Amino acid sequence: MTSPPREDPALAARQLCERIDYEFADSGLLDTALTHPSWRNERPDAAGDNQRLEFLGDSVIGLIVANHLYAALPEAREGTLSVFKSQLVCRSSLARAAEEVGLAAALRLGKGERRGGGRKRPSILADAFEALIGALELDGGYETARRVVITALAEPLAEAIVHGLHHDDEPATLRSGSVNWKTTVQELLQRGGGARPHYTLLDGRGPAHERIFVAQVSAQHDDAQLTAQGEGTSKREAENAAAAALHVLLTVSGDVDDGDRDGANDGDGDGANDGDGDNGGRGDADSDGDGDGTVPRSN
């Protein structure tokens, strides 16, 4: 029987910094953000745990999300903004954000929490994401924290903006994973007279059963070349996440008329130039032969 891979939180912490594209000046802040109380309880000489940073990060995330919604939805009522904000900063949403940046593997957990599946527990992941953002705000300032939050929450933020622009009287339950952002972004650009976006697969890492793909989308908007990135467990999912991040850039700029989202939940028949020769349809070339439309990449 093959033994499970050995956990290496130190290596995972370095990979986390790579994923958020930030190097801490004070590495102790990162260590504290990644330290769960259960780990500290087993080590009386430990400097501290992430609960104070969690307290700070909770407020920082709330401010970032509130600022973003306020700027992106100038006509939305207070009640609508509050509903979206509460969904974006709830435990399940922040747990998914923690997964986006690879926090789980980097956490320092006590033996009981590790054995009990603590790395997959939403409450632990959400708290750790708040602590990470608190540490980023202290080490790199508000703009550094804002960049990581907006990237990690790109898909639900984009969905909130799309819905809020057209259905202000009907605050919705966000369903970010089901929205076809490639279609939405392409229609948005075409209404503004822009060219179709171009998708590039930048990376594929991890073992075959836990493959993570990184995609980048670029598009010409007015005189600027905009780019955004996204990650996912398949090429299609990574491209969709990248499109959601680009949608946030386009709508917050206020320069693009974001029309109705009709058809955004259909198949991936967006005609976007995603570099795989299929024009964005469901017939992605499947170079690894497993039928999932993904293309294997070496680390």
Together in a domain, 59 and 142:
yes
Query: How many distinct structural domains can be found in the chain?
Result: 2
Three-state DSSP class for residue 203:
strand
Q: What percent of the chain has pLDDT over 90?
A: 33
Mark whether 122 and 223 lie in a shared domain: no
Q: Are residues 17 and 150 in the same domain?
A: yes
**CATH number of the domain enclosing 195:** 3.30.160.20
Residues 95 and 210 in one domain: no
Cβ pair 111, 34 in contact under 8 A = no
Count of C-beta atoms within a 10 Å radius of residue 75: 8
Nearest residue to 243 via CA among 193, 195, 198, 296: 198
CATH code where residue 118 lies: 1.10.1520.10
Catalytic residue check, 58 = yes
* Pairing verdict, β 224-232 and 198-205: unpaired
Q: How confident is the model at residue 279 (pLDDT cuts 50, 70, 90)?
A: very low
Domain housing 196: 179-299
- Which of these three, 159, 194, 219, is where a domain ends? 159
43 shares its domain with 77: yes
Residue 186 lies in a domain: yes
Separation in Å, CA 202 to CA 42, 171, 212? 41, 36, 11
Is 130 a known active-site residue? yes
Q: Is residue 82 part of a domain?
A: yes
Catalytic residue among 49, 58, 139, 159: 58
Catalytic pick from 31, 49, 130, 239? 130
| pLDDT at residue 74, as a whole number | 87
For the stretch 154-196, pLDDT in tens is 888 888 888 777 655 444 555 555 567 787 788 778 777 777 8
Nearest-angstrom CA–CA distance, 60 and 57: 5
Residue 246 vs residue 29, higher pLDDT: 29
Within this chain, do residues 127 and 234 fall inside the same structural domain, yes or no? Answer: no
Judgement on whether residues 209 and 109 belong to the same structural domain of the protein:
no
Distance CA 112, CA 42 (A): 10
Q: Are residues 267 and 124 in the same domain?
A: no
Please check whether residues 90 and 210 belong to one and the same domain.
no
